[in-house]
Amino acid sequence: MVFDLFAILWAPFLMCLVLTGIHAYLGVHVLAREVVFVDIAMAQIAALGATAAFLQGYEIEQWESYAYSLAATLLGALVLSITRSRRRNVSQEAVIGIVYAVSSAAAVLLADRAPHGAEQVRTMLVGNLLAVRPFEVGKVFILYSLVGLMHWFCRRPFLLISTDPRAAFEAGWRVRLWDFFFYASFGVVVASSVRIAGVLLVFSYLIVPALAGVMLGGTVAARLLIGWAFGTVVSVIGMVASAALDLPTGATVVCAFGVTLIAFWIATRVSRRLAALGAGPPAPAGHPRR
């Protein structure tokens, strides 16, 4: 029994680790940019592209479906980079919300015209992790490694624009162009992830591990390490719970992210409270604590 479960789940689990690696990193940038919903908007745009491909008769596993998703996300990257402004007269979150709402509605309209469209919408939401094969894990790993390598070479402008966009403008960086490169690489990742994990799981892998890292503060590197560890642990919990309770894998992992984040937040608050109590009241002026 255990061997059978291992044979079924080892490839999906490795895929979860690959997703954790790249998405937790991108999530750190997303939280720093204060555009939390850009990931679910981009994921929904990718789902819209895949739905359009489905309407044309292409299955989600075919390369044509990926091409449609990638084209849609690149268009979304262009819109997000153009709407970036130095003074922020209009919050970019408002633009992201509009993009998400319109792409969601458009996906529903397209699915309504396709046979088995409701099933397509469900697949786009929760994915189909159990269908992942080792070859696909390796292929996605190579793709994400190339994206990660590009981000390493471009780390200076990406990090500066994410953490201090005003300084980036003043330093003369072409912020909108770099934004397009960032969101385009983001779209390459998301277009691949949505086909495998679905919109909800992609959002969870992007935001929750990065948020766990932010809770403990520290440097960007420390946040990344915490996010990677958190995503790995939750992947194990979600996979085991899915197998033990015979539940859909993607939805179970999403719920595991939510429950574990709440537990992590409570543990963080309690540990800080205990540390504050252990430090005791502040010493009076002129009487240093011994």
Give the CATH number, domain containing residue 102.
1.10.3470.10
Query: What does the pLDDT look like over 67-97, one tens digit per residue?
Result: 888 898 898 888 888 876 666 555 677 778 8
Question: Does residue 216 form part of some domain?
Answer: yes
Question: Does residue 285 form part of some domain?
Answer: no
Contacts by 23-26, CB closer than 8 A, 24 or more apart = 23/189, 23/193, 23/202, 23/205, 23/206, 23/209, 23/231, 24/205, 24/206, 24/209, 24/210, 24/213, 24/224, 24/227, 24/228, 24/230, 24/231, 25/148, 25/151, 25/224, 25/227, 26/186, 26/189, 26/206
Is 31's pLDDT higher than 90? no
What local confidence, expressed as pLDDT, does residue 290 receive? 47
Q: Mean per-residue pLDDT for 238-267?
A: 88
What local confidence, expressed as pLDDT, does residue 147 receive? 92
Q: Mean per-residue pLDDT for 208-235?
A: 87
CB 214, CB 230: distance < 8 Å: no
The structural domain count of the chain equals: 1
Is 36's pLDDT higher than 80? no
Look over the chain and give the mean of its residue pLDDT values, rounded to a whole number: 82
Tokens of 11: 């490839």
Q: What residues make up the domain containing 29?
A: 2-277
Question: Does residue 112 form part of some domain?
Answer: yes
Tokens of 193: 């992830």
Question: Does residue 208 form part of some domain?
Answer: yes
Question: Does residue 21 form part of some domain?
Answer: yes
Which residue type is seen at 99?
V
Question: Does residue 284 form part of some domain?
Answer: no
CB 123, CB 60: distance < 8 Å: yes
Q: Mean per-residue pLDDT for 207-223?
A: 84
Question: Does residue 69 form part of some domain?
Answer: yes
Tokens of 105: 């509605």
Question: Does residue 242 form part of some domain?
Answer: yes
Query: What does the pLDDT look like over 88-146, one tens digit per residue?
Result: 555 677 778 888 888 888 888 887 777 766 666 677 777 777 778 888 889 899 999 99
Weakest mean pLDDT among 5-19, 232-246, 273-287: 273-287
